[in-house]
Amino acid sequence: STDHWQASLPSSVQAERQGPVAILRLNRAHKRNALDDETVLGIEAFFDNLPDDVLSVLLCGDGEHFSAGLDLSELEERDIQQGIAHSRVWHRAFEKIQYGRVPVVAALHGAVVGGGLELAASVHVRVAERSAYYALPEGSRGIYVGGGGSVRLPRLIGVARMMDMMLTGRTYSAEEGLAIGLTTYLVETGKGFAKGLELATRIASNAPLTNFAVTQALPRIAEMAPGSGFAMEALMASIAQADPMAKDRLKAFLEKRAPKVTRS
């Protein structure tokens, strides 16, 4: 049950349910949802213990900001070996978001910076309120990204834009984020959670095999040499088509019981 699941999580993350959607709320507003070890491990535990009937996840943050990134108060004492281990824990936790069992939507507002942007980069759909802004202050703090940013952000926005963000401290607004690929949906301030929940609910109604193909196969196919990618795509397509849920949905369309695709 959600009660049992919540009880296994630290207080810095909150698990909730809305039907088939599980909500993961960063719950450290007093520290602007800065990501300390406990919070990162809490994110991992949330995904490790996702109940079987959860079909999508909505990630959001309590308070005025989505996340201020790495909890800088933890940095002082860390030596080189501990720094490597720390970064590898973030990699492990965020892999469970990107390559977990279900698609993940994030509702972003306020600061989405540093490790908070790395976290946002690991989800599948980003809804940004107008208040949201993106930055990589690591450059000016004398450190470097460690939560997978070097791998995921260039794939979203390109190496040159990421370099600029780190070298000059440039920030992007939620609206600017639309053009460069950080914002998937732009909504008015205060509307991010509702829009995120609407999208997560819609995603939860897809055939689970389609969601698997899109979140697990697609990003890997996109990185393959074209010949391997075409072969993998053909396999994925035939597997998806053979699923009984796909057959039912195709039949429903042909019998005029399913909605047409129209302008929104």
**What does the binding site for ligand 1HE look like in residue numbers (CB under 6 A)?**
31-32, 34, 64-65, 68-73, 87, 90, 111, 113-115, 137-138, 141, 143, 145-147
Which spans in the chain are helix H? Answer: 2-7, 37-48, 80-98, 115-121, 138-141, 149-157, 159-168, 174-180, 192-204, 208-212, 218-223, 226-242, 244-254
Annotated catalytic residue within 38, 95, 118, 233: 118
Task: Supply the minimum distance, in Å, between the C-beta of residue 172 and ligand 1HE.
Answer: 15
Which residue of the chain is nearest ligand 1HE when measured via CB? 114
Closer residue to ligand 1HE (CB): 73 or 228 = 73
Which of 101, 39, 125, 126 shows the shortest CA–CA distance to 74?
Answer: 39
Task: Supply the minimum distance, in Å, between the C-beta of residue 240 and ligand 1HE.
Answer: 36
Q: What are phi and psi of 141, to 5 degrees?
A: -90, 0
Q: Which amino acid is at 263?
A: R
138 is catalytic: yes
Closer residue to ligand 1HE (CB): 100 or 149 = 149
Task: Supply the minimum distance, in Å, between the C-beta of residue 131 and ligand 1HE.
Answer: 12
Q: Which amino acid is at 1?
A: S
175 is catalytic: no
Closer residue to ligand 1HE (CB): 56 or 109 = 109
Task: Supply the minimum distance, in Å, between the C-beta of residue 196 and ligand 1HE.
Answer: 20
